[in-house]
Structure 1
Amino acid sequence: MIEINLLPGAAGKRKARSGGGQGPDVRAMLAGLGSKVRDPYMIAAAASIVLAALIVGGLFLTQQRRDERLAEAEQVAVADSARFASFLRQRVAAQATRDTVLRQINVIRAIDGDRYLWPHVLHEVSAALPQYTWLTRLAYTGTAQGSRTPSIIGEESAAPGAPAAAATPAAGRPGATAAASRGLDTDIVRDSVTINLEGQTVDIEAITRFMRQLEASPFISDVQLGKSQLSIVAGREVTTFSLQASYVHVDSGSVIRRVPLAASVATAAGN
């Protein structure tokens, strides 16, 4: 018996339907799409879209991994801060105690270094005083060493007489921790001392010699003539003058030579 196929494509469709287990032919689909799409601008636009999608996806994944690392680092930093908070508070307290003691020691050293201020001044003035010249007044103006209120380093000093707490920020105010970590200023500022002299002389040139000899002293500087005028004293004409000078805080090791008290007593007893 002879069979004639009047539908040539029917057998191929039946075979295709019977072979449904196989996947679609991608190469054939792309070839067909390429044969249909021949515009280069459309191809470039499609390639740009694909490339942009890949770049955005890569940036998203990179940023996500970076956020995860930063979150982990933040957790570690918070844990370390909580663990060392007590240690930092103890460190600040120890530094405050150290600075307080060191400032007290420096105050004592400053007072000890200037306790012979008057002996130095009297000795230098008497040594520089010319003949036929005498003093009627000798005084000084200045503040005592260590009387200034201690201040935080980098902060302005408090007004004289103000409580020490005024120069230190309160614990509850912003910046109190940073200010406490800087500590107290342990350096003692040497206060300026001005020496005032008034005297009389019968020789006008003696005033110049007196000023020059005072300037030669290591303890006295910046000698200035306040006034000079003629006056009558006990029926005689004399020149009344006034001088102002500054006391110099000299390093004890460069000019002053100190000996133990026992050695000085033994030397005095031997003489």
Structure 2
Amino acid sequence: MIEINLHPSGGEKKTRRKRRSVNLPSSARFQSLREDPWNAGLIAVLVIVPLIVLSLWLMQRSRDHGLQAQLDAATADSARLAELRVLSDSLISRRTAVQKRIELVEQLDGNRFVWPHLLDEIGRSLPDLAWLTAIKREAPLPNVQVQLLGTAANPLVVTQFVHNLERSPYLTDVQIVSTQAQEVKGLTAQNFTLTVRYRSPPSDSVPTAPLLKGGA
């Protein structure tokens, strides 16, 4: 069975009860909140603190982005420096290897003229009344030392030979090992044994000549 209330007052009472259930603050209450310093401070804190937190978060985020960019740049620079270091080490190794080869070539190229210079200086220093019977090597290159065995007409010729050897820019440490008189075809000759060492002369002591121009 359905009952319907047709009395107007019943609907108004229900409507009034529904309106009373919604509790909205009045303007006077807002005015009291503004006048109360504690409430005003609370409202200010509730408004300002989120703004401060948001600002700090934005600043931190911007700082993090800046630090990340610096970190990426430092990482890239480190990678480039590592590549440059590897390249530098490779170039240094190549330069060392090339330098060793150059030194070897210079040594071989310089030593190939030792014996020609040595024999040429010995032959140039030999007096007319003396001759050599043997040349023996006593020390290897580059400071090669040889022993000279020969015969001279008299002791003065041996002394002249020694002086000539000492004046050569390519020879040094000229020593008389022994001298001995010997009868040769009814004449008294002087056998001698000398030692001499080769040296590289300074550039200013070696005579030079200007090159001839073509068509002169």
1:208 shift after superposition? 1.3
Deviation at 1:141, TM superposition (A): 3.9
Letter of the 1:89 counterpart: V
Question: In the alignment, which of 86, 89, 92 is matched to residue 92 of structure 1?
Answer: 89
Q: Is the 8 A contact 2:139 2:146 kept in 1?
A: no
1:242 paired residue number: 193
Task: Return the letter of the residue paired with 1:203.
Answer: N
TM-score w.r.t. length of structure 2: 0.54
Give, in whole Å, the separation in 1 of the partners of 2:102 and 2:209.
Answer: 20
Cα offsets for 1:107-127 (capped at 9, x unmatched): 222332332223322222222
Give me the whole-angstrom Cα distance separating, in 2, the residues matched to 1:246 and 1:228. 19
Unaligned runs of 5+ in 2: 1-70
Superposition pairs of residues 1-271 of structure 1, within 5 angstroms: 84-144=81-141, 191-251=142-202, 254-255=205-206, 257=208
Structure 1 residues not aligned, in runs of 5+: 1-74, 145-190
Identity %: 30
Q: In the TM superposition, what whole-angstrom CA distance separates every residue of 1:66-92 from its partner, at most 9, and x where no partner exists? A: xxxxxxxxx9xxx78776444323322
Supply the AA of the counterpart residue of 2:94. Answer: T
RMSD: 3.3
Aligned mates of 2:164, 2:105 — CA distance in 1: 32
Counterpart Cα distance in 2 of 1:82 and 1:117: 53
Taking the aligned partners of 2:101 and 2:207, their CA distance within structure 1 comes to 23
Following the alignment from structure 2 to structure 1, what is the Cα–Cα distance between the partners of residues 173 and 161?
Answer: 13
Q: Aligned AA for 1:108?
A: V
- Which structure has the bigger radius of gyration? 2
- Residue-pair matches, total: 143
Q: Which region of structure 1 is more displaced relative to structure 2, 251-260 or 215-224?
A: 251-260
Name whichever structure is richer in strand by fraction.
Answer: 2
Letter in 2 for 1:211: V
- 1:129 aligned partner, one-letter code: L
How has the CA–CA distance of structure 1 residues 107 and 250 changed in structure 2, closer, same or farther, with 3 Å as cutoff? farther
Counterpart-to-counterpart distance in 2, 1:138 and 1:255: 25
Q: TM-score, normalised by structure 1?
A: 0.44
Could you say which structure has the greater relative contact order, defined with CA pairs below 8 angstroms and 6 or more residues apart? 1
Q: Distance in 1 between matches of 2:94 and 2:140?
A: 26
Q: Find the residue that maps to 1:257 and give its secondary structure.
A: coil
Contact 1:198 1:241 in 2 (8 A): yes
Task: Please identify which structure carries the higher helix content.
Answer: 2
- The CA distance in 2 between the partners of 1:106 and 1:259, in whole Å, is 28
